[in-house]
Amino acid sequence: MAEILQQLILDTLDDKTAINDTRDLTLPGQSGPAVSHDAQITILGALNSLLSRDMISYETHEISSHILTPEGAQIINEGSHEARVWSALPEKGAGPPLSPLQLKKQVGDETAKVGQGRAFKNGWIGKDGDGLVKLISMIQDDTQIDLQEISSTGTLKSGEKVLADLRKRKLIIQRKGQWFSVQKGPSFSTSTAKPETDLTADMLTSGAWKTSTFKKYNFEAEGVPVDSGALHPLLKVREEIRSIFLEMGFAEMPTAAFVESGFWCFDALFVPQQHPARDLQDTFYLSDPAKSLLPEPNYYKLVSTIHEHGGFGSTGYRAPWNHEESTKLLLRTHTTASSAHMLYKLAAKCRGEEVGGGEGEDTHGTSMTAGNPGKGEHDDGFRPAKLFSIDRVFRNETMDATHLAEFHQVEGVVADRGLTLADLIGFMRVFFKKMGIEQVRFKPAYNPYTEPSLEIFAFHPMLNRWVEVGNSGMFRPEMLEPMGFPKDVRVHGWGLSLERPTMIRYGINNIRTLVGHKVSLEGIKNSPAVMF
């Protein structure tokens, strides 16, 4: 059909130079419109196809037209209700008048009901005793005549008032429609042969390119989506959080070591050797190799003594020290293991060790310290530091909708002289505010390595409740002083998971749709960038 229409349009244009009204298009040898008045929209495809090849141009004309309802169509065949009532009745004096009941029987309930009123009003019928009779011998059924006109032209010359009345009587309904006027375009021809889309080697050798017509470039067309890699939502959120830390003046800690020893993951942090977190059910231990090398012997001795007998103001755990437990290799259960390493390195100068590289630089080349001792103060080697990390940790968890055996922790650590709990709270308020979390609350908690410790809760406007978002605290002197930090140095830190804010951000409620084999690649590709 599309080709026939295109050809008809081109042939008609060739013949008559312009088509003033597409409703007048006729197919050769056929009477009546090629496309009915209420189906003009079907020409649009043919017109646009020709327009894209510059063969024609066209204008659209909006019209409203009317079509008949089934009841309206019935009137064309059988006459209006009033005409049917009129013709059922005898002329006055020519026979016994029809009772209303007899009339109903003859023309049907509906016709009798509607028709009687209108026939009376028109003066066509009247009462004769108890019955009904014709008053005139000839009628003109205007309703039928109007409907005939509408059926063939879609409208009425006599005007909108009658149309509105017929619409109210539910004999016709209004349809918005259109028709088109068409002119020849710059590339007009009567041939609808598809233009070439490519210039081929064959065309060049045969010379066919000279006579071929070529399809124009469509600079508006969207390209095929490029198949490429995409950042996982976790990586996008990690980048956002990283930039928050960086703009707050933090340096990133090296966290590549997923495998740690029991010493750095727990002992150095003053986690008792009997702590349930160290159980096989909670921590993944390595079988090969199973043992780590020992840390620097003096430090190791200090840590084990504090655990066993106390020191630095602490009573210790008063339980025998287990060397085995300390050297077990494991997958780190928190990034605080890496922070412990870094704090130990930060205190190197305080221990009187020679530090390689420039002033205040650690062995990884990360400049993690800043500032100088105050004028006139004795230099004990300490430099304040603000450190952060965002990396993977592992726990032997039963997996469910919100827990996996591995996840990411975000951690911030600040070391300076005389820091207080208020400094920690202030830091966290700023940090979470930058993440878009305005309302935070803190609840006393317990960590073996911090005292006091605070759980962090944030108000979640979508969930309309407070949710736990992190954990924090002031590192214990039992942990800091054996490392060599001067007594007035305080270190505070806070940690949170990367998964939780990511899930909240992307409206994900099952972690398995964020990480693992059930993740939709499409979802990853289409996930928007985050802006806290």
Residues of this chain that interact with ligand PHE (CB under 6 A) are: 334, 336, 411, 447, 450, 471-473, 493-495
Nearest Cα residue to 332 out of 380, 282, 374: 282
Distance in angstroms (rounded) separating the CA atoms of residues 273 and 319:
9
Query: Which is it for the CA torsion 184, 189, 191, 197, positive or negative?
Result: negative
CB of 225 to ligand PHE, least distance (A): 41
Cis peptide before 97 (omega within 30 of 0): no
CB of 364 to ligand PHE, least distance (A): 20
Q: 3-state SS string over 204-257?
A: HHHCHHHCCCECCCCCCCCCCCCCCCCCCHHHHHHHHHHHHHHHCCCEECCCCC
CB of 379 to ligand PHE, least distance (A): 28
**Which lies closer to ligand PHE via its Cβ, residue 344 or residue 494?**
494
CB of 450 to ligand PHE, least distance (A): 5
Angle at CA of residue 315, ends 309 and 320, nearest 5°: 35
CB of 238 to ligand PHE, least distance (A): 17
**Which lies closer to ligand PHE via its Cβ, residue 5 or residue 346?**
346
Q: Which residue bears the tokens 């020709």?
A: 50
Phi first, then psi: give them for residue 74, nearest 5 degrees: -65, -35
CB of 468 to ligand PHE, least distance (A): 10
Distance in angstroms (rounded) separating the CA atoms of residues 245 and 407:
20
Contact (Cβ atoms closer than 8 angstroms) between residue 84 and residue 111 = yes
**Which lies closer to ligand PHE via its Cβ, residue 72 or residue 384?**
384
**Which lies closer to ligand PHE via its Cβ, residue 49 or residue 471?**
471
**Which lies closer to ligand PHE via its Cβ, residue 321 or residue 475?**
475
Number of residue whose CB is nearest ligand PHE: 495
CB of 473 to ligand PHE, least distance (A): 4
CA dihedral 294, 297, 302, 308 (to 10 degrees): 50
**Which lies closer to ligand PHE via its Cβ, residue 493 or residue 501?**
493
**Which lies closer to ligand PHE via its Cβ, residue 37 or residue 238?**
238
Q: Which two tokens stand for residue 88?
A: 């059922």
For the beta carbon of residue 53, count every other beta carbon within 10 angstroms. Answer: 19
